[in-house]
Amino acid sequence: MIVENMNEGILSVIGNTPLVKLTKIFGSSGFNLFAKLESLNPGGSVKDRSALRIVEDALAIGLIRPGDTIIESSSGNMGIGLAQVCAYYGLCFICVVDPKTTRLNIDILKAFGATVEVVSTSNSQTGDFLQARLDLVEKLRKEIDRSFWPDQYRNLANPMAHHRTMHEIAGALNGEVDLLFCATSTCGTIRGCAEYIRAHRLRTRIYAVDAVGSVIFGGQFAKRLIPGHGAAVRPELYQPDLADECIQVTDLQCVIGCRRLVREEAILAGGSSGAGMRGPRRSSRTGSPPTTGWCASTAP
């Protein structure tokens, strides 16, 4: 049976997420704010896009084939995105997490058929688990035949996936995007959007929304609780000219942003979306650009 506009397979509905004009938060200020509802990707976050592109590129060039094992370190969304893509393509997936990973994320990973390995040693000075996670990934890669590490912090397929993200935003707003507020961790999203903006000579000013305690944009490392944005080590995908400005957001400001989103717009979103709210608030005080795209990210 041929049905017009039918999606073929669950992965075909990754991307093309709705861009919604927020109607209440800035009221009649003349500041047009749009939220890109990445939580409506089938795996629940913007990371579905990176997971899909990384795996499909590796399959296309023969780096991996069905039955192989993908191993990645992730405390949440990238892991879930990879778990779904691996389940679809018949790949095994081992997700290396740490004790900060939520019970819900572990249950979702397992429901997709992933094996979950939890590290327990943190850096004695910083309390961070990143190195322990990467050490375990390396060990597993050596032990498991035909295994592949996507390395989301370095893999160029990650930013490539987000040329399309920005293409969708620019297409919906006729290219008239004054400001873009983008949560950052691996820098895949912001780098892909920035590359698209520059290649198409858009006038868009790019704001990186990072966590206080993250080192990506030169901040001091400090403990932080909200997952999603921020990084304890500067990712290899980082480039000095990725953003015109960086806004650093505290955990508390993320929570306040989430509460405003749900109370005023009835949008239930996660921490990095709450962080994203900080940028438009600041810009709306300093001027009123006519249009802005805002890249929201995940379900709570």
81 contacts ligand PLP (rule: CB under 6 A) = no
- Residue of 21, 36, 47, 142 with catalytic role: 47
The residue (of 33 and 78) whose beta carbon lies closer to ligand PLP is 78
Size of the site for ligand PLP (CB under 6 A): 18
284 contacts ligand PLP (rule: CB under 6 A) = no
Distance from C-alpha of 289 to C-alpha of 271, rounded to nearest angstrom: 25
Distance from C-alpha of 178 to C-alpha of 31, rounded to nearest angstrom: 11
Stretch in the footprint of ligand PLP (CB under 6 A) among 43-51, 106-114, 198-206, 256-264: 43-51
228 contacts ligand PLP (rule: CB under 6 A) = yes
47 is an active site residue: yes
> At its nearest, how many Å lie between ligand PLP and the CB of residue 137?
16
Stretch in the footprint of ligand PLP (CB under 6 A) among 84-92, 105-113, 186-194, 195-203: 186-194
77 contacts ligand PLP (rule: CB under 6 A) = yes
Distance from C-alpha of 43 to C-alpha of 78, rounded to nearest angstrom: 9
32 contacts ligand PLP (rule: CB under 6 A) = no
> At its nearest, how many Å lie between ligand PLP and the CB of residue 117?
19
17 contacts ligand PLP (rule: CB under 6 A) = no
The residue (of 78 and 136) whose beta carbon lies closer to ligand PLP is 78
298 contacts ligand PLP (rule: CB under 6 A) = yes
Catalytic residues: 47
Query: In the complex, which residues of this chain contact ligand PLP (CB under 6 A)?
Result: 45-47, 77-78, 183-189, 228-229, 270, 272, 297-298
